[in-house]
């Protein structure tokens, strides 16, 4: 495993209690970063942070990324207990129900967009002011291959993740005059608890579209992301990195 020196850096990872977020938190902590895990499930996140490698200190904060007051409160607590934020990996997200647009629940659509897209906006907005003032920062937003290609019966998820890609490109350009890199990744599906929100036929559809013939492993995603948020990434910003196992066509 390649190593990156993140000693002295504070990283916020949203959705850190499980799945992709937890794998990213572990990889960052193994590289020396202090981790602040932001998650709705505070107890599970605390247990996960207590089990991270490295000297820390690591901490968990209950955070609803779709609520601005909750995000700013989590940031304030992070700065007091862990340190000023050098790295943000925004991994919190939901898949939502599977249904055609004509039958889609309007409230569910709004909730998915609020968590996946507005949550990205809130978390990024909260940390970039300090990053700009300090002249350094690294952000990676977790989008999805669905944001590039659109999955049938997942219009809300696909639209929200397409929005994450566009938002990342915009913010990356805004911050390009300082050493703040803002990028995103577009993973194919990985076997995480988010599968519990999906119908089996939708899971089968996603697998059928991956030329590699298997789902993404969370550690594979973490390996790419740790470079994106390291000091070795000195030029790339506003970019979208493919993690789709060959599915992406652009």
Coil vs helix vs strand at 214 = coil
At residue 195, the pLDDT reads 66
Give the model's pLDDT for residue 200.
82
Residue 250 within a domain: no
The answer as to whether 186 is a domain residue is yes
Q: What is the pLDDT of residue 3?
A: 80
Nearest to 35 by CA among 91, 73, 92, 88: 88
For residue 67, give every residue at least 6 positions away whose Cβ sits within 8 Å of its Cβ, in sequence order, or none.
122
* Residue 51 lies in domain: 10-243
**5 inside domain:** no
Q: Let me know if residue 51 belongs to a domain.
A: yes
| Beta-bridge partners for 242 | 186
Total domain count, the chain: 1
Q: Which residues pair with 203 in a beta bridge?
A: none
Residue-level pLDDT at 197: 64
Q: Is 21 helix (H, G, I), strand (E, B) or coil?
A: helix
* Distance, CA of 9 to chain centre: 18
In a domain, 117, yes or no: yes
Spatial contact of 93 and 164, defined as CB atoms under 8 Å apart: no
Position 60 in a domain: yes
How much is the pTM?
0.94
Q: What are 43's strand-pairing partners?
A: none
Sequential DSSP letters for 131-186:
HHHHTEEEEEEE--HHHHH--TT-HHHHHHHHHHHHHHHHHHHHTTTTEEEEEEEE
CA distances to 8, 210, 228 from 28, rounded to whole Å, are: 12, 27, 11
Residues constituting the chain: 250
Residue carrying the six token digits 């350094």: 136
Say how many C-beta atoms besides its own lie within 10 A of residue 219's C-beta.
Answer: 14
What's the pLDDT at 175?
A: 98
* CATH number of the domain within which 32 lies: 3.40.50.720
Q: What is the pLDDT of residue 221?
A: 93
Catalytic positions? 157
List per-block mean pLDDT (blocks of 10 residues) for the chain, which spans 250 residues.
Answer: 90 96 97 97 96 94 98 98 98 94 98 98 98 98 96 96 98 98 92 70 82 89 96 97 90
Residue 3 in domain = no
Q: Is residue 208 part of a domain?
A: yes
């Amino acid at each position: 495993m390649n190593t990156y020196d993140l000693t002295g850096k504070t990283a916020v990872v949203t959705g850190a209690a499980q799945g992709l977020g937890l794998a990213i938190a572990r990889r960052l902590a193994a590289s020396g970063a202090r981790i602040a895990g932001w998650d709705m499930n505070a107890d599970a996140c605390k247990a996960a942070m207590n089990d991270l490698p490295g000297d820390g200190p690591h901490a968990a904060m209950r955070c609803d990324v779709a609520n601005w007051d909750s995000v700013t409160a989590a940031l304030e607590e992070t700065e007091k207990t862990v340190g000023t934020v050098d790295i943000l990996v925004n991994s919190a997200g939901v898949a939502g129900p599977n249904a055609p647009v004509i039958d889609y629940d309007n409230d569910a659509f709004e909730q998915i967009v609020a968590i996946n897209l507005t949550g990205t906006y809130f978390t990024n907005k909260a940390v970039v002011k300090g990053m700009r003032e300090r002249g350094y920062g690294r952000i990676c937003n977790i989008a999805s291959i669905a944001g590039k290609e659109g999955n049938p019966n997942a219009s809300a998820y696909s639209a929200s993740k397409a929005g994450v890609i566009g938002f990342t490109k915009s913010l990356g350009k805004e911050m390009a005059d300082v050493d703040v890199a803002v990028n995103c990744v577009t993973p194919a599906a990985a076997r995480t608890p988010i599968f519990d929100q999906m119908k089996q036929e939708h899971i089968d559809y996603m697998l059928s579209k991956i030329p590699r013939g298997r789902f993404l492993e969370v550690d594979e995603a973490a390996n790419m992301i740790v470079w994106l948020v390291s000091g070795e990434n000195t030029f790339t910003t506003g970019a979208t990195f493919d993690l789709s196992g060959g599915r992406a066509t652009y």
